[in-house]
């Protein structure tokens, strides 16, 4: 079950909407944060608090890529490879991170430090290639600076 603070947070968010169902997306975000990913327990908690059937919650969550359905690393590297990033070398960075640093797209490093996710456009096209590490934007990436950036995340 969610802890008291998370339940309180969710009930406050619930007040922003005319019905409980509309709070499903934010509720899934909270559950994901608290449980690490959307585990059966996470769906159980969301379902119980909002009164939304678990099957519905799961159906909605699996539509959106930002909900995770397996345990993730401590840090999530989200590298964009869409057109503007691609023509400025994003795919070379994907290969570089895979071959030199063991970051496999869709995978998690064995020490649990990083999960790597390939993103569709993250809105940093003017400073491509770009990535998000957790909630932090990094832009104008090169093989040199990307390694230094990742060093900061333990």
Choice between 51 and 112, CB closer to other proteins:
51
Identify the bridge partners of residue 76 per DSSP, sorted by sequence position. 115
Choice between 19 and 110, CB closer to other proteins:
19
Residue 138 lies near other proteins (rule: CB under 8 A):
no
Nearest residue to 50 via CA among 62, 64, 61: 61
**Total of chain residues touching other proteins, rule CB under 8 A:** 40
Element (H, E) at 34: helix 24-35
What is the Cβ-side half-sphere exposure of residue 148, based on CA atoms within 13 angstroms? 7
Query: According to CB under 8 A, which one of 1, 8, 48, 65 is a site residue for other proteins?
Result: 65
Residue 132 lies near other proteins (rule: CB under 8 A):
yes
Is residue 130 within 8 A of residue 123, CB to CB? The reply is no
Query: According to CB under 8 A, which one of 7, 9, 14, 29 is a site residue for other proteins?
Result: 29
- DSSP annotation of 75 reads E
Residue written as token pair 């690490």? 36
Residue 39 lies near other proteins (rule: CB under 8 A):
no
**Site map for other proteins, 88-117, x if CB under 8 A?**
x-----------------------------
Is residue 6 within 8 A of residue 34, CB to CB? The reply is yes
To other proteins, the closest distance from the beta carbon of 21 in angstroms equals 4
Helix axis angle, 40-50 relative to 4-14, nearest 10°? 50
Residues at the contact surface with other proteins, assessed by CB under 8 A: 16, 18-19, 21-26, 28-29, 52, 59-60, 63-67, 78, 81-84, 86-88, 119-128, 132, 135, 137
């Amino acid at each position: 079950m969610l802890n008291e603070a998370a339940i309180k947070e969710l009930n406050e968010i619930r007040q922003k909407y005319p019905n409980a169902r509309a709070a499903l997306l934010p509720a899934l975000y909270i559950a994901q944060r608290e449980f690490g990913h959307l585990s059966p327990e996470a769906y159980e908690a969301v379902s119980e608090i909002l009164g939304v059937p678990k099957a519905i919650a799961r159906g909605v969550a699996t539509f959106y890529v930002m909900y995770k359905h397996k345990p993730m690393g401590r840090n999530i590297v989200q590298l964009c490879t869409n057109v503007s990033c691609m023509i400025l070398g994003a795919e070379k960075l994907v290969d570089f991170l895979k071959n030199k640093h063991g970051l496999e797209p869709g995978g998690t490093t064995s020490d649990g430090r990083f999960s790597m996710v390939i993103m569709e456009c993250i809105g940093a096209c003017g400073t491509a290639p770009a990535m998000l590490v957790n909630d932090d934007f990094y832009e104008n990436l090169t093989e040199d600076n990307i390694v230094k950036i990742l060093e900061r995340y333990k």
